[in-house]
Amino acid sequence: MIERLFRVSERGSTIPRELRGGLVTFMAMAYIIVLNPLILGSVTATDPSAKTDALGGILPLAQVAAVTALVAGVMTILFGVLANYPFAIATGLGINTLLAVTIAPLMSWPEAMGLVVINGFIIVILAATGFRTAVFNAVPTELKTAIAVGIGAFIAMIGLVDSGFVRRLPDAANTTVPVGLGIDGSIASWPTFVFVLGLLIVGVLVARGVRAGILIGVVLNTIIAIVVEALTRVGPGGPDNPGGWSLAVPELPSQIVGMPDLSLVGEVSFGAFARLDILTVVLLIFTLVLANFFDAMGTLTGLGRQAGLNDAQDKLPNVGRALVVEGAGAVAGGAASSSSNTLFVESAAGIAEGARTGLANVLTGLLFLLAMFFTPLYAIVPVEAAAPALVVVGALMFRQITSIELDDLRTAIPVFLTVVVMPFTYSIANGIGAGFISYVLLAATTGRARQVHPLMWVVAVLFVGYFGVGPLRELLG
Ligand SMILES: Nc1nc2[nH]cnc2c(=O)[nH]1
């Protein structure tokens, strides 16, 4: 029955392989349950680093953790069953940062989440009417490949930053260089040591073609991290302990089970339209939609290609349905205050492990639902132990660059911009925007305007608007 429902052998996979892939993807993504609360939530409204909204309101940490796991679990299972692809869904780092930094300070948290819900409905409508699929199919192959390569660079960057290997220089450093190696140019902190050792372990296992190499690597890294913490007691990181663990401290927990607090579910309001002028609200929604729309599109292309699931025209079969379910993730994420849920590039870890069907997603989703009750347990895996998997998977995705013909600069420049802007701006959508605009512009100025699909023109113009939103808002006061 499971075999028929998910067409496991038709995709050249086996049930154990799917389950192994689902577990690896969960291990690569579980950090979001710890990280999302730190981005959106606060302990108290009076904390110096509290993420207060315009009314001084906050989202409590434990409640954000619970809804993050809930929505990721439900949407990942739904996507697995309805779209039958091993692409897991959770709260996207791009949009939650946008919400915390730009949107919530202008309104209340429920109103900010209301905008996420509207963004989700727009995306679902664009997907259901076929517009999303039409754009998906209008993108030239070399740009689709560049998106996949750029995502590889982006996920490696996420791993390098989350592990503390790459760090932001202090604002007081008075230099134009934004990031550096470790602390003051040195990787001599225990958590970063665990990451570097873990990177070597995962790299060797994967390069030698060891089955379940990524999973074995992350488990080994976690054990090493627990031993290192037991011996050194470096503790949690922070301004007065820069050499500490960046999120979870790898300790055997004293308590294992707890009931999740789901009171944020339904805490949504559409009052932003009454609080702010309509143009501001429309521009904010426009920004959310473009970022969401193309992040998912790039991720789908990259993951589909990595899994070998795209057809001869480099199209993912039944992509329309996948895009509708993905859009529903934005609605669900907004409605539960976990922020927009989207396809996660980290699914590449499970695909590298062999996952090819939605069955893998069902396991990943169930583990997210289970994590709601075992929050102390998943917190054992420190980011420093999971991040090596992100970097190695980034390398696997990056290899696709060899299939792009780079002799013609009209291709090489947009491809390059797509690949570098993603990690450097920490956003898949920004990279796609830079690539699309430069592709259309170079074609138009070198006599190839007619060869560009009309939808590419439309999207490039929309991206000009996307990048112009900030300057435009300033201009209009
Ligand atoms: N595609 C994608 N993957 C992610 N993994 C973590 N955050 C994100 C995100 O915003 N988009």
pLDDT at 376 over 70: no
Does residue 159 have its Cβ closer than 6 Å to ligand 1?
no
Give the per-residue pLDDT at 340.
97
For 124-163, the DSSP string reads HHHHHTTHHHHHHHHS-HHHHHHHHHHHHHHHHHHHHHHT
Does residue 162 have its Cβ closer than 6 Å to ligand 1?
no
pLDDT at 140 over 70: yes
CA of 29 to the centre of ligand 1 (A): 10
CA of 32 to the centre of ligand 1 (A): 10
CA of 297 to the centre of ligand 1 (A): 12
Taking the model in full, what pTM does it have?
A: 0.86
Residue with the nearest Cα to atom 2 of ligand 1? 344
Copy the structure tokens of residue 345: 């590039």
pLDDT at 238 over 90: no
Number of domains, the chain = 1
Does residue 342 have its Cβ closer than 6 Å to ligand 1?
yes
pLDDT (tens digit per residue) in 210-230? 877 888 898 899 999 999 999
In 3D, which of 268, 251, 265 has the Cα closest to residue 372? 265
Per-residue confidence band for 413, with pLDDT thresholds at 50, 70 and 90: very high
Per-residue confidence band for 82, with pLDDT thresholds at 50, 70 and 90: very high
Q: Higher confidence at residue 257 or residue 83?
A: 83
pLDDT above 90 covers what percent of the chain?
56
Q: Higher confidence at residue 363 or residue 251?
A: 363
Task: Give the list of residues 6+ apart from residue 208 with CB closer than 8 angstroms, or none.
Answer: none
Mean pLDDT taken over the chain: 90
Give the per-residue pLDDT at 379.
65
Ligand 1 atom closest to the Cα of residue 346 is: 5
CA of 344 to the centre of ligand 1 (A): 5
- Cα 24 from chain centre: 16
Does residue 295 have its Cβ closer than 6 Å to ligand 1?
yes
pLDDT at 470 over 90: no
pLDDT (tens digit per residue) in 49-62? 788 999 999 999 88
Per-residue confidence band for 44, with pLDDT thresholds at 50, 70 and 90: confident
Give the per-residue pLDDT at 172.
72
Residue with the nearest Cα to atom 8 of ligand 1? 92
pLDDT (tens digit per residue) in 59-81? 998 899 999 999 999 999 999 99
pLDDT (tens digit per residue) in 119-135? 999 999 999 999 988 98
For 64-128, the DSSP string reads HHHHHHHHHHHHHHHHHHHH-----EEE-HHHHHHIIIIIGGGS-HHHHHHHHHHHHHHHHHHHH
Cα dihedral 111/116/118/120 (nearest 10): -160
In 3D, which of 467, 456, 468 has the Cα closest to residue 140? 456
CA of 64 to the centre of ligand 1 (A): 17
Report, as an integer, the average pLDDT of 291-308: 89
Give the per-residue pLDDT at 377.
66
Give the per-residue pLDDT at 106.
94
Does residue 293 have its Cβ closer than 6 Å to ligand 1?
no
Does residue 431 have its Cβ closer than 6 Å to ligand 1?
no
d(CA 22, CA 350): 6
pLDDT (tens digit per residue) in 4-18? 899 999 999 999 999
d(CA 92, CA 111): 19
CA of 92 to the centre of ligand 1 (A): 5
Give the per-residue pLDDT at 201.
97
Report, as an integer, the average pLDDT of 418-436: 92
Ligand 1 atom closest to the Cα of residue 295 is: 1
Is the ipTM above a cut-off of 0.90?
Answer: yes
Residue with the nearest Cα to atom 10 of ligand 1? 92
Give the per-residue pLDDT at 424.
93
Report, as an integer, the average pLDDT of 354-362: 97
Give the per-residue pLDDT at 427.
86
Ligand 1 atom closest to the Cα of residue 298 is: 1
Lowest mean pLDDT among 34-38, 75-79, 388-392: 34-38
Residue with the nearest Cα to atom 5 of ligand 1? 344
Q: Is 325 within 8 Å of 78 (Cβ atoms)?
A: yes
pLDDT at 199 over 70: yes
CA of 90 to the centre of ligand 1 (A): 8
3-state secondary structure of 25: helix
pLDDT (tens digit per residue) in 312-345? 887 889 899 999 999 999 999 999 999 999 999 9
d(CA 307, CA 271): 43
Report, as an integer, the average pLDDT of 15-27: 95
Lowest mean pLDDT among 74-78, 223-227, 378-382, 394-398: 378-382
Q: Which helix (H) or strand (E) holds 341?
A: strand 341-343
CA of 260 to the centre of ligand 1 (A): 24
Pocket test for ligand 1, best of 96, 428, 430 (most atoms within 8 A of CB): 428
Does residue 94 have its Cβ closer than 6 Å to ligand 1?
yes
Q: Determine the structural domain holding residue 169 and report its residue range.
A: 2-476
Q: Higher confidence at residue 188 or residue 455?
A: 455
Give the per-residue pLDDT at 286.
85
Give the per-residue pLDDT at 355.
97
pLDDT (tens digit per residue) in 183-198? 888 888 999 999 999 9
Side-chain-side CA neighbours of residue 466 (13 Å): 23
pLDDT (tens digit per residue) in 170-184? 777 778 888 889 888
pLDDT at 253 over 80: no
In 3D, which of 20, 28, 298, 269 has the Cα closest to residue 144? 298
Does residue 345 have its Cβ closer than 6 Å to ligand 1?
yes
Give the per-residue pLDDT at 378.
63
Report, as an integer, the average pLDDT of 285-308: 88
pLDDT at 248 over 80: no
CA of 89 to the centre of ligand 1 (A): 9
CA of 428 to the centre of ligand 1 (A): 8
CA of 93 to the centre of ligand 1 (A): 5
